[in-house]
Amino acid sequence: MRPLDLPARRLTGAGINFIMDIADSPSLLLNKGRDSLKYSKATNYALHAMLHMVANASSKPVGVQQLAKTLHVSPTYLSKILTSLVKARIIESASGVNGGYRLLAHREEVSFFDVIQAIEGAGSLFDCNLGHPADTCLIQRVMTDAEHMMEQVLKQKKLIDLCADIPGISH
């Protein structure tokens, strides 16, 4: 048996089952000082921009300059992010003097997953590259299971759900 092909043991924590490999020194498996996964700045901006658009949905497009000012971000960078959301068919762009961006998807249907996938892509967060078949790697199995659980949560959570917590916005 190779070191990474250790027997798995099922652990339960916070109501979610995770499969973890148990090694002689479990502390070596921890990444101290890092409590969570980190998404890109582009995903952060995209989620905030989409929350603004969902919360303030109207048929009138919002300009990139106005949206960038509201979010306190670079209009050039935000424009690139919005282009990715257009390609994902979540929003649409309207050209002209009164142009900008508006929701294409129904505001009740826009999930965190939709926005994250539009920016980050559909690839896996973790790919074992140690030369053994991925389907026999216990580490890959844990990471894939965790990704599937996170994906389900992000698909279920809609941006419209947050609008109730924004003062002056009704959904």
Give me the pLDDT at residue 35, please. Answer: 52
- Is residue 18 situated within a structural domain? no
Give me the pLDDT at residue 4, please. Answer: 36
Distance CA 80, CA 38 (A): 20
Distance CA 90, CA 73 (A): 20
Q: Within 10 A of 160 (CB to CB), how many other CB atoms are there?
A: 19
* Model confidence pTM above 0.85: no
Is 142 within 8 Å of 20 (Cβ atoms)? yes
Give me the pLDDT at residue 103, please. Answer: 93
And the tokens for 91? 């929003």
pLDDT < 50 stretches in the chain: 1-34, 171
Q: How many domains does the chain have?
A: 1
Domain limits for position 84: 40-171
Give me the pLDDT at residue 37, please. Answer: 66
- Is residue 9 situated within a structural domain? no
CATH number of the structural domain spanning residue 158: 1.10.10.10
- Is residue 65 situated within a structural domain? yes
Q: Within 10 A of 154 (CB to CB), how many other CB atoms are there?
A: 15
Give me the pLDDT at residue 164, please. Answer: 78
Is 121 within 8 Å of 88 (Cβ atoms)? no
- Is residue 108 situated within a structural domain? yes
